[in-house]
Structure 1
Amino acid sequence: YANTLAKGILPENDLMRHNFNLKESASFFDNKLTVEGSANYITQKLDNAPTSGFYYNPLVGTYLLPRSLNIADYKNFETFNTGRNLYDQNWFTLSDDETTQQNPWWIMNRNSTRSTRNRLLLNGSAKYKIAPWISVQARGSVDRTSEVWDRKAYAGTQHILARENGAYSYTNTTITQQYGDLTANMNFNIGDKLQITGLVGTSITDWKTEGTDFTSGKDGLKVPNQFFIQNTTTPVTSTLSANRRQLQSVFASANLAYDNWIYLDLTSRWDWSSTLAYTPQNPYAYPSVGLGIVLNDKLNLPEFVNMAKIRGSYAKVGNDLPPYTTLLTNRVDPYAVLTVNDIAFLKELKPEKTASLEIGTEWRMWNNRLNVDVTYYKTNTTNQFFKIAAGNASLNNMYAVNAGDIQNQGVEALVSLDAIRNDNFKWTTSLNFTYNKNKIVKLADGISEFTLTGEGRNNFASKLQVGGSFGDIYGQDFIRDDQGRILISEDGIPQKNNTYTKLGNSNPIWQMGWNNSFNYKNFNLSFLIDGKFDYEVMSVTQALLDGYGVSKASGDARANGGVSINGVTPSGKAVTTVDAEKWYTSTAGMGPVSSQYIYDGTVVRLRELTFGYDFNIKDSFFKKLRVNAVGRNLFYISKKAPFDPEVTMSTGNSLSGVDIFMMPATRNYGLTLNATF
């Protein structure tokens, strides 16, 4: 049993989790048959999970509050409205503000959310040893998760988010995954030098998702602050959803080791996916081959080389499509209204394929005190699933196509050294780094550009463009002359170019980690420093702070008599200073000059620091006892952006590297006790 009780950095943000785990095994027939089973039940309640972006985010109002006002005056977040006999929100502005800012305490108390999740995992297996060299095994599992989520927006909430009597949203989702496989495992020798380990098997995986979504209609609730489904002024907006996906597979693998110096790995797999029904691409296969050669015994290398190995591999991996992509699923409602599937189904669709090549070498030297591991890799992902706009003559909004060839290649390296190693003291240091570049080699035929995130009111977009890279950020820049000077109108307004150009890429090209551990008698100390380099991020938050005049930058500009620039007017007059208000009202806010808010994402930090002690306990109930003090994300050694680049809007590709009122990064401290009985 495990229990977790946690409070977030925001008021009313609480997590409670209970984890019950039971496992048992038994053997029969002189240990030829082994049976195992386990059950794991997890129940969790999460209140007021932090949110990013403009909606229902307490940071928006906190950050944009005019500096002439005292935020403590709004801690009493509601005032009684005698005319309506209910409480209204206490905030300096409640207009339909485009940033939807509200009193932060109101959001946490009167726009509350609750998520209740229950998860049950059942696992069972039976393994029978037919002979010393062969066994068969059957396994099965069920993973079922049910989650209920709701949001209660009280009367007094911003009208753009909820009507005058409030709003209610409710979601109930159940996801069930069932898995079973049957395998035969073999391990035998041919002669004295060749050892073979092999496996053949089959498996089936079945996913089922069912859900109910409800939201009070466009006019909100009938009776203020009564949150149940029937209390709506307009017909309930609800959705019942169910989708199912099944994957059937057969697979085989063989691992051959010859004379302990040549190792050959072979695998092959065939998948039949329900999402590829009605296409000629079922089944689809993907093989792999890997070869490793240990050099030191055969090449008579110097004695200080304990092990030298070269390796290479080539693999293909397949991935199926979203459910119902190849099957027409248009619906007719009880009023005989045809609801057309958003995507036109195409029988020509294929599974996504990723082909990867790796070449590497590994060396261990000086009694394994120095270890070096270097790998070069290259992957190409093709036949990716895209939706492209359909023509006006089509009933469908989109067409599904296979397209694209996105290439990743790079190098990974690890160097580890036991710098000091004696009876009382040991110092081990290791340095790893990765270099990765991706390139869009091809999109669909006749298409050279594809937009992931459109050109919205924040003036940035994420696009795929042939010759570019995944994660490219596009936006607007200033109009400049041939000397790079910003064009300033005669009345002092900076001029921006409405054409979107590439401003950066949100994927780090270089990453580094430096780990050190020290052991002196019973004491241990370790720290990890890591860094990410050569990439860009964008802060919409900073643009809004500047536009509202509440940032340090805008305050400094006012104090210094304006913003210093290198500009020029249409008549050719040089401009070195622009009025702070004119500058920020035309370059910041909701429609900023995007290039002004692109930052170098380079960041180096002390990721973790641990100090511990091992107690010598003899003739005790404990075999071992260790106490550790741990700190994580303690401080930045170098950071160039005005926010932590790791805390961005999305880990996906369309909003990766973009900060829109994200929660601040946190520093964590902890004390751990490890006991072995």
Structure 2
Amino acid sequence: MFHYTRSLAENPVNPGANSDWFHTGFPRNYNVDKWRNNYKDVDGGVPYPTGNGNYYYTHYSAKWMSMNHNYSGRTEGSLVAKANIDYKIMDILSFSLEGNINQFTLSTESRGIATSADRLNGSYSLSNGEKFQSTFDAKLMYNTDLNPDLSLNIIGGANSWNTKSIGTSVGTSGGFVVRDFYNILNSRLNPNVSGGTSYEKRINSFYGYATASFKNSVFLNVTARNDWSSALVYPDGSGDPSYFYHSESLSWVHSEDLTLPSAISSLRLRASYAEVGNDTDPFRISTGFVPAGIGSSNIPMYRFENSTAVSPNIRPEKKKSIELGFNALLFDGLVNFDFNFYKDNTIDQIIPLSVPNESGIGSILLNGGNIQNQGIEILVDVAIIDRQDMSWNLGFNWTRNKDKILELVPGVTEFNLYGDPADANAATASYAYAGGVYGDLVTRKGYKPYQATDAGGNNIDHPNNGIPILSPRNGWSIAYPIGIQNLDSLHVMGNMQSDWFGGVNSNFRYKGLSLGVLFDVRWGGEIYSADARYGLHQGVIESSLPNRDASQGGIVWTSDGQGQNIYGKEYEDGYIPHGVFPDETTITSGQADNRTSVDVGGMTYEDAYAQGLVEPTHWSGYIYRWTSASTGTPITGVYTQKWVALREVSLTYQLPSDLSNRLRMQNASLILTARDLPFIYNSMPDNINPTISNNLAANPLQMNSAPYITSMTLGIKANF
């Protein structure tokens, strides 16, 4: 069997590629229709105000140029081939050989339009790559009935799996010598060239399966397998590449000899236990020393590759699982109910553990941890209508899952799963704490809480203790809770695990017309949304409107000259922030020649305003500083995810048989499908797409996501 496909995709949607439109803060009156067609100068380049008279600058003309003229092409090829030989040795014994190959090829071309004043900062790159996988499997199968009540099936075999990825890439560097000439030889500096094998691994295995059936009512399944992985071999040939795993499952299906309640048509009970081994990525334990440059004493220096040392005793990972469940058909098969409980424990995970910088490395790769994954799954299918010309089936699924960290490496209580809690923008990471649940959202940029003290500097009880301390701007014309405190400790903002997942599917058929609908639900779990945070920061989303002026609820007042407010001027963007003034804070107001001060230290802004000691702060300044990367905190971008999505609607019309026959087709049908329709409910502000920016398991960050895109397809399905 052979199957080959080839495809070309040009200028695909790149999530986040045009995020400047959103995060930079275009004014609401920016005329997109005008500037999308008026962004070039008379010479065809990007206008610059430093030009020679032919250049006239337009806002973000370089962005329009890049978006409309950059090119990205991606050609993919896929070859899948399979061959097998089956040989029957005798009635109860047979032999099988099977080979599979899967070759994936990829070629890309990228052209970057010049946007500099001299039009020479263009770019050009080419790449080619191949991923080749092969599998060879040989097995011996034994199948017999030991007696009328007992049957036995046994399979024993060997398997070899191989994969290898190679690639090359070349691109210009430093711009072009000749403008708009897309050729590698046109590179101003030496081209960037890379290539080689990026991934190579082999796993050899022996395995066995045995299934016993008693009276077609009791079923026992036992499996055993041993793998040898090249990824667990050190460069000197040492290591522990072998790992054994097994599983056992037992199920019971009620027989006619057992009487069940009339409402139960059929009942099946099941239980299983399994252990599964796992290796790691190739070359991960094969790191060594690499040059680190020349030191100040002209002595060559070396360091660990990727600043990571590797334990000399890496072991395979292991996962232990138990499952208990049952399936019941109710009311003559009209209702299908399935329940499943599971608990997994993954131990000896191969993890990069952070170590102090004084050690000379950033992390060490070793085994550790015990993560428990536990949950329940419920499936219900209901046949509401079941007639020859009409049917309607409804399906429901509900899942609740929790991951718990039973232990990490001895002596370690926390582990960074994803992200940097102290970076300049998101400042959000997901962490695992020993004894806690998986995926806490943490930051080093939390609020500084107020703590009252006595004259001797000792902490005392006070109703304002724990409330965020405020910070001033423009002499307290603007006040906001500053978010660059607590840099020495991690602040937990939430947890990324959902409370539950669910779904509903409906399939309705009337004669030759069918309608299918699929809903998807997520309820609970926190997410950090940079789009929401910086949308507020720049004032480009609807959530930033409240308090902007009197029509949006802003407080109207005539200023007494507080801070840098103009004395006697009327403002209408007033807002009362929640926070406490630092101790010994004084607010200065009045005309320029008659300024007075009042002490508001230790008071909340609400109390000080109620007593007439301060004016409202300005909403625009408050929201800008509260959400800023320099003075804000990622707490302002943390939201709880709750959404109900209409994932798919499909309408199918089966052509009449006489029409299909005239078209020389069988079972022909027309299918109209719409996927990823708008959310029915979305807890994110301004209906921001909650899609995570990448698919890594521990990633809690939503940033630069593409708009929610609905796709529609029309197809025909038929047999010939």
Q: Give, in whole Å, the separation in 1 of the partners of 2:60 and 2:202.
A: 44
Q: CA deviation at 1:331?
A: 6.2
Q: Which amino acid aligns with 2:419?
A: T
| SS across alignment from 1:226 | coil
Residue equivalent to 1:228: 183
Q: CA deviation at 1:595?
A: 1.7
Q: CA deviation at 1:564?
A: 5.2
Residues 320-370 of structure 1, C-alpha deviation per residue, up to 9 Å, x if partnerless?
A: 12222333555689x999685333343300112111111001111222112
Kept in 2, the 8 Å contact 1:147–1:174? The answer is: yes
TM-score by length of structure 2 reads 0.79
Q: Give, in whole Å, the separation in 2 of the partners of 1:91 and 1:127.
A: 76
Q: Give, in whole Å, the separation in 2 of the partners of 1:367 and 1:147.
A: 53
Residue equivalent to 2:640: 600
Q: CA deviation at 1:188?
A: 1.1
Q: CA deviation at 1:450?
A: 2.0
Q: Give, in whole Å, the separation in 2 of the partners of 1:246 and 1:252.
A: 20
* Unaligned ranges ≥5, structure 2: 51-58, 295-299, 451-462, 555-572, 583-600, 610-615
Residue equivalent to 1:300: 259
Superposed, which structure 2 residues align to 1:366-405 within 5 Å? 366-389=331-354, 397-405=362-370
Q: Give, in whole Å, the separation in 1 of the partners of 2:181 and 2:639.
A: 46
The alignment-based identity, stated in percent, is 24
Residue equivalent to 1:58: 18
Residue equivalent to 2:8: 45
TM-score by length of structure 1 reads 0.84
Select the structure of larger CA radius of gyration.
2
Kept in 2, the 8 Å contact 1:58–1:103? The answer is: no
Q: CA deviation at 1:127?
A: 1.1
Q: Which amino acid aligns with 1:250?
A: F
Superposed, which structure 2 residues align to 1:260-271 within 5 Å? 260-271=216-227
Q: CA deviation at 1:557?
A: 3.0
Residue equivalent to 2:706: 663
Match of 1:183 among 122, 126, 139: 139
Residue equivalent to 1:652: 696
**Structure 1 214/523 Cα, relative in aligned 2: closer, same or farther at 3 Å?**
closer
The count of corresponding residues between Structure 1 and Structure 2 is 622
Q: Give, in whole Å, the separation in 2 of the partners of 1:564 and 1:391.
A: 44
**Structure 1 606/118 Cα, relative in aligned 2: closer, same or farther at 3 Å?**
closer
Q: Give, in whole Å, the separation in 2 of the partners of 1:41 and 1:281.
A: 38
Superposed, which structure 2 residues align to 1:430-579 within 5 Å? 430-451=395-416, 452-455=418-421, 456-458=423-425, 459-475=427-443, 476-481=445-450, 485-489=467-471, 491=476, 492-497=478-483, 498-499=485-486, 500-559=490-549, 560=554, 561-563=573-575, 565-570=577-582, 571=601, 572-575=603-606, 578-579=617-618
Q: Give, in whole Å, the separation in 1 of the partners of 2:13 and 2:288.
A: 36
**Structure 1 496/440 Cα, relative in aligned 2: closer, same or farther at 3 Å?**
farther
Q: Which amino acid aligns with 2:640?
A: D
Residue equivalent to 1:207: 163
1:323 aligned onto 2:323: no
The two structures, once aligned, show a CA RMSD in angstroms of 3.1
Is the deviation greater in 129-138 or in 590-599? 590-599
Q: Give, in whole Å, the separation in 2 of the partners of 1:236 and 1:256.
A: 64
Q: Which amino acid aligns with 1:73?
A: K
Q: Give, in whole Å, the separation in 2 of the partners of 1:73 and 1:125.
A: 63
Q: CA deviation at 1:305?
A: 2.3
Q: Give, in whole Å, the separation in 2 of the partners of 1:471 and 1:668.
A: 32
Superposed, which structure 2 residues align to 1:118-267 within 5 Å? 118-156=77-115, 165-217=121-173, 219-242=174-197, 243-267=199-223
Q: Give, in whole Å, the separation in 1 of the partners of 2:357 and 2:392.
A: 69
Superposed, which structure 2 residues align to 1:106-121 within 5 Å? 106-121=65-80
Kept in 2, the 8 Å contact 1:58–1:102? The answer is: no
Residues 561-604 of structure 1, C-alpha deviation per residue, up to 9 Å, x if partnerless?
A: 24454334332143375312321221224344212221221001
Kept in 1, the 8 Å contact 2:22–2:540? The answer is: no
Residues 374-405 of structure 1, C-alpha deviation per residue, up to 9 Å, x if partnerless?
A: 00001111222222345667676542111222
Kept in 1, the 8 Å contact 2:336–2:380? The answer is: yes
Q: CA deviation at 1:208?
A: 1.3
Q: CA deviation at 1:73?
A: 3.1
Kept in 2, the 8 Å contact 1:539–1:597? The answer is: yes
Residue equivalent to 1:21: none
Q: Give, in whole Å, the separation in 2 of the partners of 1:412 and 1:425.
A: 30
| SS across alignment from 2:305 | coil
Kept in 1, the 8 Å contact 2:46–2:61? The answer is: no
Kept in 2, the 8 Å contact 1:252–1:268? The answer is: yes
Q: Give, in whole Å, the separation in 2 of the partners of 1:60 and 1:66.
A: 13
Q: Give, in whole Å, the separation in 2 of the partners of 1:528 and 1:236.
A: 50
Residue equivalent to 2:557: none
| SS across alignment from 2:68 | helix
Q: Give, in whole Å, the separation in 1 of the partners of 2:239 and 2:511.
A: 66
Kept in 2, the 8 Å contact 1:606–1:636? The answer is: yes
Kept in 1, the 8 Å contact 2:678–2:708? The answer is: no
Residues 162-206 of structure 1, C-alpha deviation per residue, up to 9 Å, x if partnerless?
A: x95233444332211121111112221101111112211111111
Kept in 2, the 8 Å contact 1:530–1:607? The answer is: yes
**Structure 1 379/629 Cα, relative in aligned 2: closer, same or farther at 3 Å?**
same
Q: CA deviation at 1:539?
A: 1.5
Residues 146-171 of structure 1, C-alpha deviation per residue, up to 9 Å, x if partnerless?
A: 22234332321699xxx952334443
| SS across alignment from 2:45 | strand
1:72 aligned onto 2:33: yes
Q: Give, in whole Å, the separation in 1 of the partners of 2:192 and 2:304.
A: 18
| SS across alignment from 2:620 | helix
Q: CA deviation at 1:319?
A: 1.3
| SS across alignment from 2:546 | helix
Q: Give, in whole Å, the separation in 1 of the partners of 2:46 and 2:511.
A: 64
| SS across alignment from 1:275 | helix
Residues 400-450 of structure 1, C-alpha deviation per residue, up to 9 Å, x if partnerless?
A: 111222211100001122223334433222211001111122222222222
Q: Which amino acid aligns with 2:20?
A: V
Q: Give, in whole Å, the separation in 2 of the partners of 1:485 and 1:123.
A: 67
1:352 aligned onto 2:306: no
Kept in 2, the 8 Å contact 1:214–1:239? The answer is: yes
Q: Give, in whole Å, the separation in 1 of the partners of 2:635 and 2:369.
A: 28
* Unaligned ranges ≥5, structure 1: 1-37, 93-99
Residue equivalent to 2:589: none
**Structure 1 535/204 Cα, relative in aligned 2: closer, same or farther at 3 Å?**
same
| SS across alignment from 1:546 | helix
List 4+ stretches of structure 1 deviating above 4 A.
89-92, 100-104, 328-333, 335-340, 389-397, 480-486, 643-646
Q: Give, in whole Å, the separation in 1 of the partners of 2:222 and 2:652.
A: 44
Residue equivalent to 2:305: 341
Kept in 2, the 8 Å contact 1:154–1:166? The answer is: yes
Residue equivalent to 2:458: none
**Structure 1 631/372 Cα, relative in aligned 2: closer, same or farther at 3 Å?**
same
Q: Give, in whole Å, the separation in 2 of the partners of 1:671 and 1:325.
A: 46
Q: Give, in whole Å, the separation in 1 of the partners of 2:546 and 2:49.
A: 27
Q: CA deviation at 1:101?
A: 7.7
Residues 5-38 of structure 1, C-alpha deviation per residue, up to 9 Å, x if partnerless?
A: xxxxxxxxxxxxxxxxxxxxxxxxxxxxxxxxx2
Kept in 2, the 8 Å contact 1:44–1:116? The answer is: yes
**Structure 1 389/172 Cα, relative in aligned 2: closer, same or farther at 3 Å?**
farther
Is the deviation greater in 278-287 or in 426-435? 278-287
Q: Give, in whole Å, the separation in 2 of the partners of 1:294 and 1:107.
A: 64
Residue equivalent to 2:376: 411
Q: Give, in whole Å, the separation in 2 of the partners of 1:428 and 1:544.
A: 44
Q: Give, in whole Å, the separation in 1 of the partners of 2:208 and 2:154.
A: 7
Q: Give, in whole Å, the separation in 1 of the partners of 2:364 and 2:189.
A: 34
| SS across alignment from 1:478 | coil
